[in-house]
Amino acid sequence: MYELFAHTADLGIRVRAATLGDLMADAARGLFTVIAGDLAQIDAVEERPFALPGTDPTWLLHDWMSELLAVFEIERLLLREFTVKVDETGLRATARGETFDPSRHTLAHEIKAVTQHLLDVRHGPAGWEAEFIVDI
């Protein structure tokens, strides 16, 4: 016997910023807030550069969030500070944080993936806006 049932295991993140670089930085902070809860528990003692090619802001956001999630999953690096620049060739960023230490850090959610569902980045009169969904 089997039955089908509705199951929601997603969380949406909405971001607004004046510049595309600030939007990407705020999206990164949002992602790590989902992962770690309180970013204040993370010390910014380690620095990591990132460079992602791309011209489409929507896919650049997806690739950026996916790259950050991979760094956390593979290296257990919790990040809290982000400086991001976006130009016609792609995204360049510096992130700061530290390696997860279970004696000092708590984790709020396990993120399985950054989905393409409802993925959107747009520029309007008030600046940049984005929405993306993470599978938790």
Question: Residue with structure tokens 């620049």?
Answer: 85
Does residue 15 sit in helix, strand or coil?
A: strand
pLDDT tens digits for range 87-119? 999 999 999 999 999 999 999 999 999 999 889
Gap between the Cα atoms of 101 and 125, Å rounded: 43
Q: What is the pTM of this model?
A: 0.93
> What is the per-residue pLDDT for 5?
42
- The pLDDT of 9-29, averaged and rounded, is 94
Query: Measured between alpha carbons, how far is residue 90 from residues 64, 75, 86, 103, 110 in Å?
Result: 10, 24, 6, 37, 28
Taking the domain 26-114, which CATH number applies? 3.55.10.10
> What is the per-residue pLDDT for 4?
46
> What is the per-residue pLDDT for 10?
86
| pLDDT surpassing 70 at residue 7 | no
- Domain ranges, ordered by start, for the chain: 26-114
CB 86 within 8 A of CB 106: no
CB 83 within 8 A of CB 20: no
pLDDT tens digits for range 44-87? 999 999 999 999 999 999 999 999 999 999 999 999 999 999 99
| pLDDT surpassing 80 at residue 3 | no
| pLDDT surpassing 60 at residue 1 | no
> What is the per-residue pLDDT for 2?
53
| pLDDT surpassing 90 at residue 40 | yes
